[in-house]
Structure 1
Amino acid sequence: MQPSPAEVARTLAAGRLPGNAHIACRPGPHRVRHAADAAGRVLMLVPAGGELAESLRPADGADDVAVVLDVQDAPPVAGSPTLGRVWVSGWAAPLTGVEARQAAQDFVEIDPVGELLDVGRGQVLFRMDPAEVRLEAAGRITDIDPDEYAAAEPDPLQAVEWDLLTDLADHHVPEMAEFIRRQLADSGHRGPDGPPPRVVRLDRYGFVVALGTPGREYRARLAFPRPVADRADLARLLHPVLCRRCAERATAP
């Protein structure tokens, strides 16, 4: 099991990675602070009166502006494979009143920045309804149905992936190495000799491990028994692996 293209696109566009806005018939791109609401609509938090806000203002007689949000993955640790790059295209319009307040609440769930307190005065929220979604990953570009993108959920571990990988690398190398080698052996594969295998990516479905020596590494994906819901759920799932005493009790006659 692994994330679908729609899930990867929603994870990249969620708002935890830097994004650039390309606006039709305007110079750019512009770095933009953004987040996606529960329906996958892109919210852009923009300083009022700035160049980006002016570029996003609909022309006279128009209700919205054509925009492309471009977000590229930032691998969390050295050796991590990239999830790729997503382009979300659609039509953006400024929000006011109740809509702006609701959008600010949606935004704060992803990125609780202080500028949200200034929406309606020094900051403006724009919302883009996705009309086209494209994902570039592993050298391929995939067109994703906007309804599938909207229905997908971003990965719940994205915000804490770096913390989790760092904790495993700092405190649990022997336990994880033993577990990974056992899993590979059970699947009929034998990992290469060399340093202990490393976990280099995590998501709700499993993790990617790097094995072998530098320059001769290869990667393997190991799936969890079930998708995890959040960090606490992952901790419960991995507890028998990381707790040697628990593992010894589980295997004792």
Structure 2
Amino acid sequence: MAVSTAGTVPTSAERIRSACIRGQALLAIADSADAEPVTAPVCHLLPDGSLVIAVPAGDPVADAADTESGVPAMLELTDHSPLRLRERVRALVWIRGRLRSVPEPEIVALLDQIAAADPNPALLQVISPRSAAGQYRAGDGDIGYSLLRLTPESAVLADTTGAESVAVDELLAARPDPFCAIEAHWLQHLDSAHPELVARLATIKLPPRLRRGQTRPLGVDRYGMWLRVENLDGDHDVRLSFPRPVADVLSLNRAVRALMGCPFLNGLQARQR
């Protein structure tokens, strides 16, 4: 069950953009029993709306995409909580489209473009289709990666509140949340080093019936944060909206203190001695 206080939340398109950065990606050929889904360590949305995806060289998915017309495929992104919760999946994203191999002359430029925004170590292991042919098998040790491009035709975001379809032009217009890259570290620090702050938020913000369970931080974005309450009757997610959107860690920390009712954020000044 999810409960939200009044306030703005990220759009589904923004959440999908964030999931492309922090989510676990699984790529599959649509309606195919021959190619099993494969984990993709790189998933990057380009300005033209296509997604560049890296998969192990020699995998059947990469081989199936190595045609001029491409193949229909589906990309699944799983947004996990960085904390060890009873249920870690926060949202799922499914993107359907046409999958093709990236032509060899385009690989180097694409790698540079992706690395400028996301310096993923897997980019260093991308190899050309020509060098991969006949040399690598899925399951080898350090096998390298092939670069594929998915042209989206549809996208769906699903969480505990339901599912929503998102148009490709909405994805292009959206931007990832400014905290998506550091969210895991921030939540882990809050959970391990400041459990008293989480307990304080639970005491003053949660309805009485939810205060008996174990409360953990679940997520944070520029508009607010989520708490997860685990108790005997199941999991309950509660949204706490910030007074105003935040853009950096300093303003984020101030917003959390404001939720706690810190008097120095309400116009009071410390006494001068």
Taking structure 2 as the reference length, what is the TM-score of the superposition?
Answer: 0.72
Q: Distance in 1 between matches of 2:86 and 2:270?
A: 37
Aligned CA RMSD, in angstroms, stands at 3.5
Question: Identity over aligned residues, as a percent?
Answer: 23
The residue aligned with 1:140 is 162
Within a 5 Å distance, the mapping from 1:140-179 to structure 2 comes to: 140-179=162-201
| 1:221-252 deviation per Cα after TM superposition (whole angstroms, max 9, x unaligned) | 1112333335455346447789x897799454
Is the alpha carbon distance of 1:154 and 1:46 closer, same or farther for their aligned partners in structure 2, counting shifts above 3 Å?
same
Is the alpha carbon distance of 1:69 and 1:211 closer, same or farther for their aligned partners in structure 2, counting shifts above 3 Å?
closer
Is the alpha carbon distance of 1:6 and 1:149 closer, same or farther for their aligned partners in structure 2, counting shifts above 3 Å?
same
SS across alignment from 2:186: helix
8 Å contact kept, 1:80–1:200: no
Q: Structure 1 residue 205 and structure 2 residue 204: aligned?
A: no
Q: Alignment length, in residue pairs?
A: 244
The residue aligned with 1:95 is 102
8 Å contact kept, 2:215–2:230: yes
Moved more, 76-85 or 159-168: 76-85
SS across alignment from 2:110: helix
Moved more, 38-47 or 200-209: 38-47
In the TM superposition, residue 215 of structure 1 has moved relative to its aligned partner by 4.0
The residue aligned with 2:242 is 224
Tell me, which stretches of 5 or more residues in structure 2 are unaligned?
1-7, 133-144
Tell me, which stretches of 5 or more residues in structure 1 are unaligned?
none
Is the alpha carbon distance of 1:46 and 1:200 closer, same or farther for their aligned partners in structure 2, counting shifts above 3 Å?
closer
- Of residues 31, 37, 41, the one that matches 1:33 is 41
Amino acid at match of 1:9: I
The residue aligned with 1:45 is 54
Moved more, 142-151 or 103-112: 103-112
8 Å contact kept, 1:169–1:198: yes
Detail structure 1 runs of 4+ shifted over 6 Å in the superposition: 239-242, 244-249
8 Å contact kept, 2:177–2:222: yes
